[in-house]
Amino acid sequence: MKKRILFIGTSHIGTFRSAWDPIEGSDEFEADFFGVPEPVWTGLLSNGSFQISDNKLLLPTQEEILSAFNFKLDAELKKSREYLLRSKYVFDANDNYSKIVLIDFDFHYRFPLWKNDDGIYMYDNAPVSLDLLLSLDRFAGNMHSHSGKYRQSGLTFKDDKEVSFISLIKLIRQLVPNVPIDLIREPFNMSSNIKRDKHNRIETQIISNKQLHDFAIKKSRGDEKTKMRNKIVKAVFDASVATSFECHQLCTDRLGLNIRHLPQPQETLDDTYAGTKDIFSVAYGDTGRLNRHCTPKYAEYYFKDILDV
């Protein structure tokens, strides 16, 4: 009997689907994919309610989906809406999946978050617990920072509703309590592939880096030329990676998920730090080097772990 694997994620799931192609037709495995772009997830989480019924994880109702797309639509959103209206549900528990893999359900480092000398997470100048971080809108939602364009094109978000995928994971866990769930994790700011340029993702990163830069300068009391600034930048950067990791750890501990790391970035990070005068120009210059791992090649490599069901 074939082992079935369900992949749930954003449009990034296309990378995994491509990587799956050579395995398609295998006697051992088969896979299903459910993916919509990140802003659409946000729209669904903030406008609608995922529910369980008849052993299925249902999408928000048609009315809720439509209300999330109530103005003029760009082609991508229109396609997503049609896909959602056609799909009705995310998955059926009767399909007996051997594993569910969540892709892009990531925690993103938020400014002005940092870690002080005692290892305490600070949000601006106030200490903050990981539980609180997990409750922050968008911290576990991952999508808002990319949503500006979509707001303009008609995707609406209810600001008073929590936009977090944790509630969705809880529903999945409730529906299939014994199916292992993998959470593929991408370290901070390394999630975008080059294709995302056209969706302003790179631009978002640059804004993010500017915030990091400004924050470092503020913390180093405006002395831009001392080593202090780079030291702080590195500390903040490290904290961001650590925070993302620890939040995943906390989340997975609470929800019983397995974290799987995308291969690579450590050597790139080390390379980034080595001898650089300006972290930003190297790490986030126009080389796109930190984005290169999100290719079918890496996804294929990654299946080695995933298929170990």
Binding site for another protein (CB under 8 A): 110, 116, 118-120, 123-124, 126-132, 135-139, 160-162
As measured in angstroms, the least distance from the Cβ of 148 to another protein is: 15
C-beta separation of 13 from 41 below 8 A? no
Peptide bond into 112 cis (omega under 30): yes
C-beta separation of 153 from 71 below 8 A? yes
As measured in angstroms, the least distance from the Cβ of 251 to another protein is: 12
As measured in angstroms, the least distance from the Cβ of 193 to another protein is: 26
d(CA 28, CA 23): 9
- 112 or 180: CB nearest another protein: 112
- 161 or 231: CB nearest another protein: 161
As measured in angstroms, the least distance from the Cβ of 126 to another protein is: 6
DSSP string, 47-116: H---EEETTEEEPPPHHHHHHTB-S---HHHHHHHHHHHHH-EEEEGGG-EEEEEEES------TTEEE-
- 132 or 194: CB nearest another protein: 132
Neighbouring CB atoms inside 10 A of 286's CB total 7
- 128 or 242: CB nearest another protein: 128
As measured in angstroms, the least distance from the Cβ of 109 to another protein is: 13
Q: Tell me whether residue 273 is exposed, middle or buried, using C-beta atoms within 10 angstroms of its C-beta: 0 to 12, 13 to 18, 19 or more.
A: middle
- 2 or 161: CB nearest another protein: 161
As measured in angstroms, the least distance from the Cβ of 152 to another protein is: 20
- 127 or 285: CB nearest another protein: 127
d(CA 58, CA 210): 40
